[in-house]
Amino acid sequence: MRLINTRTFEVKEFIGDPPSYAILSHMWDDDEVTFQDMAALPAARKKKGFAKIEQCCKQAVRHYLDWAWVDTCCIDKSSSAELSESINSMFRWYKRARKCYAFLGDVDEAPVLDSKAAPAAVEQDNPSRPALVPDNLGLFCVQMQLSRSRWWKRGWTLQELIAPYNVEFYNCRWEFLTSKRANKRFISATFAIPEPILDHSDSLSSVCVADRIAWAAGRKTTREEDMAYSLLGILGVNMPLLYGEGGRRAFVRLQEQTIAASEDYTLFLWGHSTYRQFLVAESAEASPRVLSRPIIGGAGSSMPVNAMLASSPDDFRTKVWWSGSRVEPVTRRHGPLLSAPRPAQVVDTDIDTYTNPLSALYCETLPPSPPPEPDPPCIEIVLEIRASGVSNSEVWSEGSVDGEVDCRP
């Protein structure tokens, strides 16, 4: 891990545990300073991107930190191996940071502080901050300032919000606005990230995979593959980076790695229509049912109905009404669901007319509030299982499984 000396701007590499450091969260812009630029500091200072490196270091000095990390100049992006290692390590680096400075370059409003408010206790780690707190109106204004920034819509900034314990927000003039801790209720309500995740009182593993992916819905990255790569730390997996593979393929690989690393079957709670699918934990002895209202490949969707994995985090956008606390695994009898070391498990059918063994996933469409009928509509996804994994699948909306059924790709 390379760090910048906050006083000399020298970039130094640390093997093993690094010293305490601050870290910058920002939106990339034109004329950023690269790792190669830092070798010639006078020339680097002339670039537009050097200003935020300098201000980050100044803030770190105020917090008695001798080192800082900035992604633009602390990673040698000319090395694909180093870039891959850095992206796979980035969540951990943000988590270890003593301070994270979120620079909102598109927010130019001045900080809102109510001079009539009672003085607040000065934070021990930031003695230079004014000892004032905003009143209710002032706090609302601060939150409106925050919400207008593009920072909340970028893919990489999700882990930069969650991983560090201390996140401080600054406007375009590097004036302090507020902190994550002071606004965790607002952030939680706005972006559906639980407060215990924001303040680190709960671990990420306490939240199901589907909800963690849903946090990234609506966010964008400059390179389409980065939408998947930016979720590596949040999902707790590692994988090589293959720029050029495309965003959908990268996200499919991410889901495959997640299946291999965990037994969280909420990964299948995604869909394109009004309501998201719901994986039902049927017993291995239960006879398969063919019910109605398919929800994969809804109206206007370009996704084929036989797709078992989502194409992007946006597919997890719709919240599901949970009828239970978690989804239980069911018995697998006929091979893996996906070609992964630890595949998900599905229930076996008892139909003898199929040439190849089949398994099935059961899904329900659930509205935001509990449905009035006792048995909500379901669909059945029937999979043809081969030695190499899933060959194809078919979604039935109606009919009976008593007779022979054509399972088409």
Mean per-residue pLDDT, 231-252: 95
44-58, 104-118, 298-312, 317-331 — most confident range: 44-58
In the chain, what are the domain boundaries? Answer: 2-201
Q: What is the pLDDT of residue 156?
A: 97
How would residue 139 be classed by pLDDT, with cut points 50, 70 and 90?
low
Number of residues that this document lists for the chain: 409
The pair of structure tokens assigned to 290 is 């063919």
Q: What is the pLDDT of residue 395?
A: 39
For the chain, helix, strand, coil in percent to 5 are: 30, 15, 55
Q: What is the pLDDT of residue 404?
A: 33
Cβ of 300: how many Cβ atoms within 10 Å? 7
Q: What is the pLDDT of residue 112?
A: 64
298, amino acid identity: G
Look at residue 292 and tell me whether its pLDDT is greater than 90.
Answer: no
Mean per-residue pLDDT, 326-341: 34
Please, which residues have CB within 8 angstroms of residue 374's CB and are 6 or more apart in sequence? none
Task: Give the residue with greater pLDDT, 25 vs 185.
Answer: 25
Mean per-residue pLDDT, 272-298: 35
How would residue 237 be classed by pLDDT, with cut points 50, 70 and 90?
very high
pLDDT digits (tens, 9 = 90+) for 387-401: 333 334 433 333 333
Look at residue 228 and tell me whether its pLDDT is greater than 70.
Answer: yes
How would residue 231 be classed by pLDDT, with cut points 50, 70 and 90?
very high
Question: Could you tell me what percent of the chain has a pLDDT over 70?
Answer: 61
Q: What is the pLDDT of residue 119?
A: 35
Mean per-residue pLDDT, 104-127: 57
Q: What is the pLDDT of residue 10?
A: 96
Mean per-residue pLDDT, 169-173: 93
Asked if 392 and 377 count as a contact pair (C-beta separation under 8 A), the reply is no
Question: Could you tell me what percent of the chain has a pLDDT over 90?
Answer: 49
Alpha helices in 315-367 (DSSP H): none
Can you tell me the distance from the alpha carbon of 217 to that of 234, in angstroms, rounded to the nearest whole number? 14
Pairing mode of beta strands 67-69, 22-25: parallel
Mean per-residue pLDDT, 257-285: 59
Look at residue 212 and tell me whether its pLDDT is greater than 60.
Answer: yes
Q: What is the pLDDT of residue 113?
A: 57
Is 230 strand, coil or helix?
coil
Lowest pLDDT segment from 116-125, 180-189, 327-336: 327-336
